[in-house]
């Protein structure tokens, strides 16, 4: 990839039913707007500058699989026109559901070549616990349909740390998923406890009571054990653990997500989407109506932006770089910021004793450090 | 110039909120002392905090000119005093500058604890008392009941009592006439060497220490050289005057007069309240009987929230002390709270006021340790006694032979309905019941003796809540008595947290230790390792809880490229960490300390 690669993120903020734990930008019950939303995406795309070589497109949500395949095709096509080249990776997130089955073949034709399937769990009891309106069978069926349509790069999302989910449950869940033979896996700990000030202004106020009820039923010791178990099981299955919560068969790392960790520039379109141009970050209105109204009026629905100063950029380089299991290249950092990070952050590295590992070339999190990434990273903050 | 025969010096005293300052307003108005356009309610309560809290904190002296019914003009020196028990000392000083006192009693409340205390102070000093029943305009006023109480409890004949409403201006003329007729003029010799009692002071940026004086004998002249007899300090008077209520310069203050002397002195220690001023060239042989120094009874550590504000705190304390010599302070340091000061106060309200002034007049953010008293510790094989006002400074349990603590005599006036609950409260606070007197068939005066330490932890709030707000409290220092006391240490990961050490009675140690440990368990965030929290007496652990180790702490994925939110969370976490206090390897957020220290207040 040349330095001038660019990436496009497309946010699709619709879900049929909003899951209890969700803190993403999405709304439920707004099916009527889905049809008109892609036109706004196209309108925004036309307003945004397009530079470099477009390497990836990622349709995230929400539930992008609710978009009709022809609309996806138009967005992909518009991006290709805008940048003047076809991206190598086009991912679309999908949520299994028997009520609205995507036109998988149509999506392939539209240019999508990677599906990220939100299976989350293959046990109905756990899916119910999460108040996710889907069943295990729907997950299996969706996976089969994706494969049947010929997708050769499929990622599955799983959640652990669900109240009531034992280590054995988790092992079983991992094995069921491994039997499906996906190319990529993303494993997320169910994050219910919020920072103190977030309880006061939660990202999604509706489910606050649900969260409060569930937090005491979570056991972070168990979640930690589940994480360690996953590392072990997936390693044995030939997966490479390449980022804190991502595993891939060789050659199937998510290129789009890697762009975030490598701080490459990306353009985000759609409600709540974030963009980064290498120096500053900006983000769109999270509120769907505000986004739609402003975009319709012909302006970019940007909510705010921030210019990153040098210490912030350095911190981001560390915090994002350390998410990668191979860690951060000291030389690359020194090249960009002028000093060896081991020198510049001697105090934070000293404090992070058993969480960080430093060798001649790189800094990385230890196995324990991956469980305590926040503790390891906080010392680097400006 | 009004001669001494036509001068009257009096204080207004009462239980808190019975209407002293409002009555003073009416007297100022009736005598045209204040321009009506400048009149506000409780005009003498000029300090911001006084106005905000609606109480008098500092006594104020004002000169009024009154044209009496006999056609003569009189100079009336009025001193408005605070009613709260913490400031009883101010009242007694003010009374020494007077020949009379107006005793105000609320017509609906009747006699309360400070009514009795102030009455006794006035009688001790042989002052003429003008009893006034105030607030007769209230629907709930029962002057008849109050008249009976005054008669029975204080032997005040009902004919002497003036019925008034300071709010509506009723009874004011009668009070002014009574001041002139019943209070004697000051006695004293104009020609003998000068003796003037310093009964209060404040500090002025330009005029230095301004002493409030009452001339007992002789005459003070502007610009003369004076000497403070106790300290021996001499200075030239910068300005002489009296208050109306703003300072009015004058050429001289003669026998019986009340006014102020701007001394130019920079240290309040040189011009102490209670000292006698005399003429440096023609000094008096003897000083006037002074006052006992006000005793700080309640002690607490005061620390800046941010360590780098320590120098600001030092300056603020110095400045505040110039205007309030009744608190004491000295530097101390704490492992948990850093550098700060151990301060002594007259009582809890005084502590609150000092803390609030430091915060609001000087813009500091402070953290105060739980209030404590001063203990005397007798150590094994040592003759001398150790005086300890900070539980953290206690000698190890093994060296202690005996501990004694200050006791007070407490007076509680309450409707008879609440006798039971109040007795119970006093007993659980280690109080000894002494006796009970009936003020009238429905109200009693209960008398207890109890350790001051028990009284300063929410006794007053409890008293109010158990009596539906009706009981009133007064207390006075008695002396030191031996107690079954132990030092309770709180340990986090085996390290004692000095700021949380407490002295408690042995019988309460377990309960207090357990609740502190439980609360801390809730407040200390989980660390990467297990943290035991213990309460101990010496090496004996009496309560233990364990904060389980945090097992993971990772942020979920950065969704859709939203790096900002996660980064900000980490930045905030770092900021929080910088405000944490480290005990051994455990980081404790300041909020946890605050919560515990607040809880101590309400133990
Ligand atoms: N109804 C009525 N209220 C009064 C009267 N006199 C005072 N008050 C009210 O009683 C409250 C207390 O009055 P203050 O004059 O501040 O009482 P104080 O005795 O100076 O109080 P401290 O200085 O705090 O001891 C205020 O709300 C007054 O308005 C009165 O004659 N009638
Ligand atoms: S599917 Fe995903 S985005 Fe939609 S509500 Fe559930 S968690 Fe939120
Ligand atoms: Mg008052």
Respond yes or no on whether the N-terminal peptide bond of residue B245 is cis (omega within 30° of 0): yes
CB contact under 8 A, B570 and A377: yes
Determine which residue's CA is closest to atom 8 belonging to ligand 2.
A22
In a domain? residue A150: yes
| The last residue of a domain, from among A240, A261, A282 | A261
Q: Is the pLDDT of residue B95 over 70?
A: yes
B536, β-bridge pairs: B489, B541
Q: Is the pLDDT of residue B601 over 60?
A: no
In a domain? residue A272: no
Same domain? A216 vs A347: no
Question: What per-residue string of b and e applies to A206-241 under the rule 16 or more CB within 10 Å gives b?
Answer: ebeeebeebeeebbbebbbbbbbbbbebbeeeebbb
In a domain? residue A255: yes
Average pLDDT over residues B344-360: 89
Same domain? A32 vs A160: yes
Same domain? A81 vs A210: yes
Instruction: Yes or no: say if B574 and A379 are a contact pair by the CB < 8 Å rule.
Output: yes
Same domain? A198 vs A345: no
Smallest CA-to-CA distance from A68 within A40, A43, A97, A105 is with A105
Dist CA A150 CA A153 (whole Å): 9
Domain count, chain A: 2
Confidence of residue B603 (pLDDT cuts 50, 70, 90): very low
Same domain? A76 vs A216: yes
Dist CA B375 CA B391 (whole Å): 9
Dist CA B31 CA B17 (whole Å): 23
| Residue B495 in tokens | 């390290």
Q: Is the pLDDT of residue A83 over 60?
A: yes
A26 alpha carbon to ligand 2 midpoint, in Å? 7
CB contact under 8 A, B554 and A272: no
Our CA-based measurement puts residue A90 at a distance from the nearest CA of chain B, in whole angstroms, of 14
The three-state DSSP-derived secondary structure of B301-369 is: EEEECCHHHHHHHHHHHHHHHHHCCCCEEEEEEECCCEEEEEEEECCHHHHHHHHHHHHHHHCCCEEEC
Sheet bearing B100-106, strands edge to edge? B60-67, B73-80, B7-14, B100-106, B128-134, B162-163
Confidence of residue B35 (pLDDT cuts 50, 70, 90): confident
Residues of chain A contacting residue B574, judged by C-beta atoms under 8 Å apart: 378-379, 381
Smallest CA-to-CA distance from B21 within B52, B49, B55, B70 is with B55
Please name which ligand lies nearest the alpha carbon of A118: 2
Same domain? A330 vs A219: no
Question: Residue A244's closest chain B neighbor by CA?
Answer: B557
Average pLDDT of chain A, as a whole number: 91
Handedness of CA B316, B317, B320, B323 (dihedral sign): negative
Same domain? A142 vs A25: yes
Quick check: CB of A15 below 6 Å from ligand 2? Answer: yes
Dist CA B142 CA B149 (whole Å): 11
- At A381 the three-state DSSP class reads coil
Q: What CATH number does residue A105 fall under? A: 3.80.30
Dist CA B53 CA B41 (whole Å): 13
B235, β-bridge pairs: B226
B588 alpha carbon to ligand 2 midpoint, in Å? 36
Mutate to test the interface with A, among B548, B557, B572 (most CBs of A within 10 A): B557
In a domain? residue A215: yes
Average pLDDT of chain B, as a whole number: 89
Residues of chain A contacting residue B577, judged by C-beta atoms under 8 Å apart: 378
Least confident of A282-296, B216-230, B390-404: B390-404
pLDDT digits (tens, 9 = 90+) for A201-234: 665 655 677 788 888 888 888 999 999 999 999 9
Same domain? A99 vs A18: yes
In a domain? residue A122: yes
Q: Is the pLDDT of residue B469 over 90?
A: no
Cα first-last separation, chain A: 31
**Identity of the highest mean pLDDT range in A227-236, B333-342, B564-573:** A227-236
Determine which residue's CA is closest to atom 3 belonging to ligand 2.
A62
In a domain? residue A284: no
Amino acid B464: pLDDT: 87
Same domain? A44 vs A118: yes
- At B459 the three-state DSSP class reads helix
Helix H or strand E encompassing B143: helix B143-154
Average pLDDT over residues A255-263: 93
Of all residues in chain B, the percent with pLDDT exceeding 90 is 51
Query: Which residue among B560, B564, B572 sits closest to A306, beta carbon to beta carbon?
Result: B564
Question: What per-residue string of b and e applies to A48-75 under the rule 16 or more CB within 10 Å gives b?
Answer: eeeeeebbbbbbbbbbbbbbbbebbbbb
In a domain? residue A120: yes
| Residue B219 in tokens | 């005459």
Dist CA A328 CA A376 (whole Å): 14
| The last residue of a domain, from among A220, A235, A261 | A261
Same domain? A106 vs A218: yes
Give B181's DSSP letter. H
DSSP percent split of chain B into helix, strand, coil, nearest 5:
30, 35, 35
Determine the structural domain holding residue A342 and report its residue range.
326-380
Amino acid B533: pLDDT: 93
Interface of B with A (CB under 8 A): 528, 548, 550-564, 566-567, 569-574, 577
pLDDT digits (tens, 9 = 90+) for A142-188: 999 999 999 999 999 999 999 989 999 999 999 999 999 999 999 99
In a domain? residue A145: yes
| The last residue of a domain, from among A234, A261, A288 | A261
Number of A–B residue contacts, CB under 8 Å: 103
Could you give the residue ranges of the DSSP H alpha helices within chain A?
31-34, 37-47, 69-83, 104-109, 124-129, 136-148, 167-180, 196-200, 208-214, 220-236, 255-261, 288-296, 310-321, 330-337, 341-344, 346-351, 367-371, 373-378
Quick check: CB of B22 below 6 Å from ligand 1? Answer: yes
Quick check: CB of A25 below 6 Å from ligand 2? Answer: no
Dist CA B229 CA B197 (whole Å): 10
CB contact under 8 A, B552 and A266: no
Average pLDDT over residues B535-552: 90
Dist CA A312 CA B536 (whole Å): 46
Same domain? A173 vs A27: yes
Amino acid B582: pLDDT: 75
Same domain? A45 vs A166: yes
Q: DSSP secondary structure string, A305-331?
A: EEE--HHHHHHHHHHHHTTBTT-EEHH
């Amino acid at each position: 990839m040349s330095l001038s690669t660019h990436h496009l993120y497309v946010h699709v903020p619709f879900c049929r039913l909003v899951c209890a734990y969700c803190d993403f930008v999405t709304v439920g019950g707004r099916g009527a707007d889905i049809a008109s939303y892609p036109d706004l995406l196209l309108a925004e795309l036309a307003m945004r500058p397009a530079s470099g070589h477009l390497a990836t497109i990622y349709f995230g949500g929400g539930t992008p699989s609710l978009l009709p395949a022809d609309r996806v095709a138009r967005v992909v096509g518009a991006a290709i026109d805008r940048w003047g080249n076809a991206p190598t990776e086009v991912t679309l997130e999908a949520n299994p559901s028997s009520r609205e089955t995507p036109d998988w073949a149509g999506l392939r034709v539209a240019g999508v070549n990677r599906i990220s399937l939100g299976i989350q769990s293959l046990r109905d009891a756990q899916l119910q616990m999460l108040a996710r309106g889907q069943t295990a069978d729907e997950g299996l069926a969706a996976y089969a349909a994706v494969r049947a349509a010929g997708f050769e790069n499929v990622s599955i999302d799983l959640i652990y740390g669900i109240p009531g989910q034992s280590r054995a449950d988790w092992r079983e869940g991992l094995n069921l998923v491994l039997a499906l033979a996906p190319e990529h896996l993303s494993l997320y700990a169910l994050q219910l406890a919020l920072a103190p000030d977030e309880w006061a202004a939660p990202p999604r106020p509706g489910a606050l009571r649900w969260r409060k009820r569930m937090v005491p039923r979570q056991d972070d010791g168990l979640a930690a054990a589940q994480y360690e178990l996953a590392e072990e099981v997936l390693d044995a299955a030939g997966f490479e653990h390449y980022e804190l919560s991502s595993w891939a068969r060789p050659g199937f790392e998510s290129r789009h997500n890697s762009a975030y960790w490598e701080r490459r520039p990306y353009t985000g379109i759609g409600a709540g989407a974030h963009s980064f141009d290498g120096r500053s970050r900006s983000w769109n209105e999270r509120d769907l109506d505000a986004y739609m109204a402003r975009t319709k009026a012909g302006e970019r629905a940007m909510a705010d932006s921030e210019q990153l100063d040098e210490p912030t950029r350095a911190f981001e380089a560390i915090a994002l770089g350390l998410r990668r299991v191979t860690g951060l290249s000291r030389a690359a950092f020194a090249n960009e910021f002028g000093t060896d990070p081991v020198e510049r952050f001697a105090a934070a590295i000293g404090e992070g004793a058993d969480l960080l590992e430093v060798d001649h070339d790189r800094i990385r999190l230890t196995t324990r450090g991956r469980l305590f990434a926040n503790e390891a990273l906080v010392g680097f903050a400006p | 110039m009004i001669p001494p025969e036509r001068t009257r010096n009096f204080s207004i005293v009462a239980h808190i909120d019975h209407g002293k300052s409002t009555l003073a307003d009416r007297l100022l108005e009736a005598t045209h002392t204040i321009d009506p356009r400048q009149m506000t309610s409780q005009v003498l309560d000029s300090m911001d905090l006084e106005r905000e809290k609606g109480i008098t904190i500092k006594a104020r002296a004002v000169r009024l000119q009154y044209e009496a019914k006999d056609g003569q003009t009189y100079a009336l020196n009025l001193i408005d005093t605070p009613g709260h028990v913490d400031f009883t000392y101010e009242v007694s000083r003010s009374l020494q500058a007077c020949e009379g006192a107006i005793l105000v009693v609320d017509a609906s409340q009747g006699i309360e604890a400070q009514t009795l205390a102030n009455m006794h102070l006035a009688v001790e000093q042989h002052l003429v008392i003008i009893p006034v029943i105030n607030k007769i305009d209230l629907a709930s006023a029962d002057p008849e009941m109050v008249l009976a109480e005054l008669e029975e409890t204080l032997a005040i004949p009902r004919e002497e009592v003036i019925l008034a409403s300071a709010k509506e201006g009723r009874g004011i003329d009668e009070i002014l006439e009574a001041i002139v007729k019943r209070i004697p003029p000051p006695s004293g010799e104009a020609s003998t060497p000068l003796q003037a009692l310093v009964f209060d002071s404040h500090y002025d940026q330009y005029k230095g220490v301004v002493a409030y004086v009452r001339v007992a004998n002789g005459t003070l002249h502007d610009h003369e050289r004076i000497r403070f007899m106790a300290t021996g300090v001499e200075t030239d008077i910068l300005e002489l005057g009296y208050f109306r209520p703003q300072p009015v310069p004058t050429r001289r203050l003669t026998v019986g007069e009340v006014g102020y002397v701007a001394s130019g002195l920079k240290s309040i220690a040189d011009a102490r309240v209670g000292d006698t001023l005399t003429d440096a060239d023609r000094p008096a042989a003897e000083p006037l009987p002074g006052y006992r120094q006000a005793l700080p009874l309640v002690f607490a550590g005061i620390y800046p929230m941010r360590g780098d504000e320590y120098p600001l705190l030092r300056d603020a304390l110095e400045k505040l002390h110039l205007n309030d010599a009744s608190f004491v302070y000295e530097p101390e340091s704490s492992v948990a709270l850093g550098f700060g000061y151990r301060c002594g106060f007259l009582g809890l309200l005084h502590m609150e006021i000092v803390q609030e002034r430091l915060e609001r007049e000087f813009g500091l953010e402070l953290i105060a340790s739980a209030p404590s008293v001063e203990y005397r510790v007798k150590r094994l094989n040592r003759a001398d006694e150790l005086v300890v006002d900070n539980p953290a400074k206690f000698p190890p349990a093994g060296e202690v032979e005996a501990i004694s603590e200050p006791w007070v005599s407490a007076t509680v006036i309450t409707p008879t309905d609440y006798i039971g609950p109040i007795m119970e409260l006093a007993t659980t606070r280690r109080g000894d019941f002494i006796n009970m007197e009936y003020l009238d068939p429905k109200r009693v005066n209960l008398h207890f003796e109890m350790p001051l330490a028990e009284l300063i932890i929410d006794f007053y709030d409890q008293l109010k809540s158990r009596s539906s707000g009706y009981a009133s409290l007064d207390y006075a220092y008695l002396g030191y008595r031996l107690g079954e006391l132990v030092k309770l240490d709180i340990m986090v990961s085996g390290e004692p947290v000095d700021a949380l050490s407490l002295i408690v009675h042995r019988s309460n140690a377990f309960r207090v230790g357990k609740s502190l440990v439980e609360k801390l368990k809730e407040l200390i965030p989980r660390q990467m390792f297990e943290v035991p929290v213990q309460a101990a007496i010496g090496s004996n652990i009496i309560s233990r809880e364990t904060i389980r180790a945090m097992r993971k702490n990772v942020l979920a994925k950065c969704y859709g490229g939203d790096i900002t939110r996660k980064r900000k969370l980490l930045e905030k976490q770092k900021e929080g960490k910088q405000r944490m206090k480290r005990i051994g390897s455990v980081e404790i957020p300041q909020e946890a300390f605050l919560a515990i220290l607040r809880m101590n207040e309400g133990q």
